[in-house]
Structure 1
Amino acid sequence: MSARIGVAVMAVLLAVYIVLVGQRAWLLLTSGDTVGVLMGAALLVLPLLALWALGRELWFGVRAERLGRRLEAEGGLPTEQVAVRPSGRVERSEADALFPAYRADAEAHPDDWRSWYRLGLVYDAAGDRRRAREAVRRAIRLEGDDRRA
């Protein structure tokens, strides 16, 4: 739940940023000054990029959460217990120890979205966010292919 609150707060802050930058862009565009008009046009690009990035990240989160709920309903989530620090973070060494088995499973079943999703969870527990997102994105893509087939 705290992740959703964080996302909501960041989305609101980004929306405020977009409005403020858009307002400044409009003021510069209507200034009549050549440099002001050029700067205003450039400033319009920033909110558009921000909107695209926000939409992409929110859509990723929705799809990843949907897959996680589906995998949980199927009983396919990892069941191993790993030690947790008082802060709530997973002990990285224990998560790293789980990694080879999940990587081997994903390599053995390259078209199975469930294997890739579980691999993404283990990457995330080990603190490798970039690879976790790549694995979950691949799971989303593979699950979409399964539905279309």
Structure 2
Amino acid sequence: MSLMRNKAFLAAVSIAVILSLYFVLVANHAFLFLESEEWAAKGIGAAMLVLPFIGAWFLVHEFRLGTTVQAMADHLDSEGRLPLHDGETKPSGRLTRESAEAAFEVASRLVEESPQAWSSWFHLAYAYDAAGERAQARKSLRHAADLYRAERRRERSAA
């Protein structure tokens, strides 16, 4: 594992631990409200108890996505197929609009040719990111991750 990847992983774990501690603190306060005699306090306690569960679900969901995306990137890297956008760049390092559109065109064609291939959706996600379309990039990465996990399940059940 590279040094940058180690740092990113440690940062993600650290934030997850801090967030988990926050969830415990909120849940503790929620239980204190629930023990109150006042119905309004009980209502606040019940509402506060919901928040840590939503946060925990979101944290697990995002961590799972992150680990799956890393596994997909490792898989593509081992095959020499990581998406590399080598077009013209701006001083910031981002692709120019024309280069981003060209990368998006190539990635879109890959998805059209192989809509069930997770690698096609992975490349499309990076093309969306290069074009500055973060929401679409995330949506494509989620779809790629779903396809990747399904493929892994099929491989395990066939073995």
Under TM normalisation by the shorter chain, which class is it?
A: 0.7 to 0.9
Q: Decide whether aligned partners of structure 1 residues 92 and 42 sit closer, same or farther in structure 2, where only a CA change above 3 A counts.
A: farther
How many residue pairs were aligned? 148
RMSD: 2.1
Q: Give the structure 1 partner of residue 25 of structure 2.
A: 20
1:99-136 CA deviation, whole Å, 9 max, x = no partner? Answer: 11111111111111111111111112222121111212
Q: Give the structure 2 partner of residue 113 of structure 1.
A: 118
State the 1:146 CA deviation: 2.5
State the 1:47 CA deviation: 0.5
Q: Distance in 2 between matches of 1:66 and 1:125?
A: 21
Q: Distance in 1 between matches of 2:26 and 2:148?
A: 38
Length-normalised TM-score, structure 1 = 0.86
Length-normalised TM-score, structure 2 = 0.81
Q: Decide whether aligned partners of structure 1 residues 33 and 90 sit closer, same or farther in structure 2, where only a CA change above 3 A counts.
A: same
In the alignment, residue 24 of structure 1 is paired with which amino acid? H
User: Which sections of structure 1, spanning at least 5 residues, go unmatched?
Assistant: none
1:123 aligns with 2:128: yes
The residue correspondences of 1:32-71 to structure 2 (distance < 5 A) are 32-71=37-76
Q: Decide whether aligned partners of structure 1 residues 22 and 102 sit closer, same or farther in structure 2, where only a CA change above 3 A counts.
A: same
Work out whether residues 92 and 127 of structure 1, in 8 Å CA contact, stay in contact via their aligned partners in 2.
Answer: no
The residue correspondences of 1:86-105 to structure 2 (distance < 5 A) are 87=92, 89-93=93-97, 94-105=99-110
Q: Decide whether aligned partners of structure 1 residues 33 and 126 sit closer, same or farther in structure 2, where only a CA change above 3 A counts.
A: same
1:66-101 CA deviation, whole Å, 9 max, x = no partner? Answer: 0110011011112441455565x4234222331111
Q: Distance in 2 between matches of 1:96 and 1:4?
A: 31
Runs of 4 or more off by more than 4 Å in structure 1?
Answer: 83-87
Work out whether residues 90 and 96 of structure 2, in 8 Å CA contact, stay in contact via their aligned partners in 1.
Answer: no
State the 1:55 CA deviation: 0.5
State the 1:142 CA deviation: 1.8
What's the % identity of the aligned pairs? 36
Deviates more, 1:6-15 or 1:62-71: 6-15
Q: Decide whether aligned partners of structure 1 residues 144 and 15 sit closer, same or farther in structure 2, where only a CA change above 3 A counts.
A: closer
Deviates more, 1:2-11 or 1:35-44: 2-11
In the alignment, residue 43 of structure 1 is paired with which amino acid? M
